[in-house]
Amino acid sequence: MMNFASDNVSPFCPEVLEALSREAASNAPAYGSDDVSQKLDAAFSELFDTKVAVIPVATGTAANCISLSALVSPYGGVICHHEAHINEDESTGVAFFTGGAKLLPMDGPTAKLEADALNAFVTSQVDRGVHSVAPECVAITQATELGTVYTPAEVNAIASICKSRDMRLFMDGARFANAVAHLGCSPADITWKAGVDALSFGATKNGAMAVDAIVLFDTSLKSRIEQARKRSGHLHSKHRYLATQLLAYVENDVWLKNAGHANQAATALGEVLCQHGATLAHPSDGNELFVKLTSDLAGQLRDAGVMFHAWPSLGADIYRFVAAWNTDIGQITQLNSTLG
């Protein structure tokens, strides 16, 4: 069976398993006072080529919403794309964690915000004083919910609008590794160098067991984030097991190796599907494909044991396929023969 329903279905990778097994051999101080947790800031500062503060949590929703709680006031607004995970898939999490902040969704091609449109959107917000919600933060997703990637120039253009409007810039990086693998750039180039204040650095989808990291480029926010994490019930007593996963994930570029494989598998799958009459709804930059299938081809794929989801927001005949770090490209080649 080939499961392209999500990259969340994948197991954790051998490097993470081995690191957890080693760390499970002895006792250690709790709540982040252990030696492993104390290495996080230095490891990620080296990765991003600047001083950062790292706060691990177990879920992407927690990483996104706790980050935003430090970037926006309870009565402020967060501009995002209407396809954004925080808007479509995290219930009222942002409002809950921020104490009431409102999402202000807008449109943009393939789930991306564009600087000029963002500027126009902010300008269009009517200021009615205490009766209205003022935008205080912009949230973008890298890679986006439709599998596309912002270039460093595109992030910088959005950051420039944020700076001119006195707004913060947050990046949801659930598939950040896939974006970096696609661009072939430094992680710094599409984050702090481009004007990002905080990043949720995804690991769970790409080989970790259960951890995403809040990476703060404005390190003055660390205490506030740590307080918000504790208050919301996301401070793990055995903190070292979150830190262990993250260190194993970034050591020897495991995160990029895994993401590069997932991207290559998605490309290979797209080529096979297109050879059999499918068409891409739009070009894919990462490990997600949005594909137009005939009902016959969709049926053939399901009969062959391929799992995937319909994506009706893009059209009645559009489907999403997601490759993962462990996707077997050999099986994709065999699928080509199976489909005839």
Instruction: Write the pLDDT tens digit of every residue in 91-138.
Output: 999 999 999 999 999 999 999 999 999 999 999 987 888 888 999 999
pLDDT range class, residue 340, cuts 50, 70, 90: confident
Do 64 and 86 share a domain, yes or no?
A: yes
Do 179 and 41 share a domain, yes or no?
A: yes
Burial of 271 (0-12, 13-18, 19+ CB in 10 A): exposed
Do 57 and 172 share a domain, yes or no?
A: yes
Amino acid at 268: A
pLDDT above 90: residue 228: yes
User: What does the pLDDT look like over 166-175, one tens digit per residue?
Assistant: 999 999 999 9
Q: How many domains, in total, are found in the chain? A: 2
Do 266 and 220 share a domain, yes or no?
A: no
Do 222 and 285 share a domain, yes or no?
A: no
What 3-state DSSP class applies to 138? strand
pTM: 0.96
Do 204 and 59 share a domain, yes or no?
A: yes
Among 252, 283, 313, residue at a domain's last position: 252
Residue range(s) defining the domain that contains residue 176 = 12-252
Q: What is the CATH number of the domain that holds 291?
A: 3.90.1150.10
User: What does the pLDDT look like over 177-187, one tens digit per residue?
Assistant: 999 999 999 99
Do 208 and 273 share a domain, yes or no?
A: no
Burial of 329 (0-12, 13-18, 19+ CB in 10 A): middle
Over range 312-318, report the average pLDDT. 94
Q: How far is CA 8 from CA 127, 142, 165, 304, in A?
A: 41, 17, 36, 21
Do 288 and 227 share a domain, yes or no?
A: no
pLDDT range class, residue 83, cuts 50, 70, 90: very high
Q: What is the CATH number of the domain that holds 126?
A: 3.40.640.10
Among 195, 229, 252, residue at a domain's last position: 252
Do 162 and 243 share a domain, yes or no?
A: yes
Do 100 and 233 share a domain, yes or no?
A: yes
Judge whether 172 and 141 are in contact, CB under 8 Å: yes
Do 309 and 213 share a domain, yes or no?
A: no
Among 206, 235, 252, residue at a domain's last position: 252
Q: How far is CA 12 from CA 45, 119, 163, 168, 214, in A?
A: 24, 41, 39, 33, 20
> Distance from first CA to last CA of the chain, Å, rounded?
18
Do 135 and 86 share a domain, yes or no?
A: yes
